[in-house]
Structure 1
């Protein structure tokens, strides 16, 4: 089982790079591909982003829309899974927390433990490869709101945990991939 982490800033080209990686790797040996989409449609701009991502995907890839749960058991029968994005999944989890519990340590730890468990599920699965896209939150300024800072903290820690366990790690900047690991 090979885990590939693809990170980068917003609009860096990380999703397109991850999709290209899946195309290349599945072309060498035909593989059944599952695209796990974590984005939520909550306004016209997000609708356009989701539609753009859908239009780029090959018709033969299956799609699982999973905004609130990540589970490797749902990937049974696939050789390659592309998760776009781990940071989106985290955002969905944090946005569901009532404002008075924002930055709650127990919630933070639960999200991070769930990510650890998910990585364990992936490594124990029958997948040949999991490519996980996530936002790089360490290059921007500190967020202006408590929720934004909490998001940065949780995603930053989750990314470090994922990178430590990944076989490959790539950061995409201005559409150009930089291999960090593997």
Structure 2
């Protein structure tokens, strides 16, 4: 079963995803896509880590989620947090010139990566966390718009193939796709 949890920044989506994972099983692999590059981000990572049960596994992977999952072993569930950071990591690898000249190639490449990831996730218990790009304004620079467009496509692809989709706002989860229960 694939579950997608989306929402705005600081909406409570990660906490809800963690609670959902606890209900799935004891052996959960937490796949973190963020890299703590500064002190503030290190504190955020520590808060997330402190919330999780000690029995959960951890894989930190910025780019190649398929490979990380392939070598991860057997788990009751995978919790991937988050697709927005995964997409941003790919954007940050681009040169300024390629960002400036992009005519949809990056978005198409992320769509291919997402399809491959979703193929890997089929027949697994997985919870994917993402940020909802449609809740904010249009970015003021080309890199920001490239990110928004790509993440919007990634989110739509995942939601289309997901069994359940949850929107979290103000800490309150609302199921927007799938059957309750």
The DSSP-based 3-state class of the residue aligned with 2:30 is strand
Match of 2:167 in 1: 171
Contact 2:106–2:150 (CA<8 Å) still a contact in 1? no
CA distance in 2: counterparts of 1:81 and 1:75, whole angstroms: 10
2:44 to 46, 49, 52: 49
Instruction: Say if 1:33 and 1:62, in contact at 8 Å, map to a contact too.
Output: yes
Comparing 40-49 and 159-168, the one that deviates more: 40-49
Partner of 1:6: helix, strand, or coil?
Answer: strand
Contact 2:5 2:168 in 1 (8 A): yes
Whether 2:83 is the aligned partner of 1:86: answer yes
Q: Which runs of 5+ in 2 are unaligned?
A: none
Residue 156 of structure 1 pairs with residue 152 of structure 2: yes
Q: Secondary structure at the match of 1:10?
A: coil
Q: For structure 1, list consecutive stretches of 5 or more residues without a partner in the other structure.
A: none
Aligned residues, how many?
174
**How far is 1:106 from its partner?**
2.4
Deviations 1:45-82 (A, max 9, x none): 11111111111110000000001211141343112000
TM-score, normalisation: structure 1 = 0.91
User: Is 1:19–1:57's contact at 8 Å kept on the other side of the alignment?
Assistant: yes
Match of 2:28 in 1: 33
Report matched runs for 1:112-123 at 5 Å.
Answer: 112-123=111-122
**Which residue of the other structure, out of 73, 77, 90, is the alignment partner of 1:76?**
73
Root-mean-square deviation (CA, aligned residues, Å) is 1.2
Q: How far does the alpha carbon of each residue in 1:76-101 deviate from its partner, in whole angstroms, 9 at most, with x for none?
A: 31120000001110000111101111
Structure 1 runs (4+) deviating above 6 angstroms are: none
In the alignment, structure 1 residue 17 sits paired with structure 2 residue 12: no
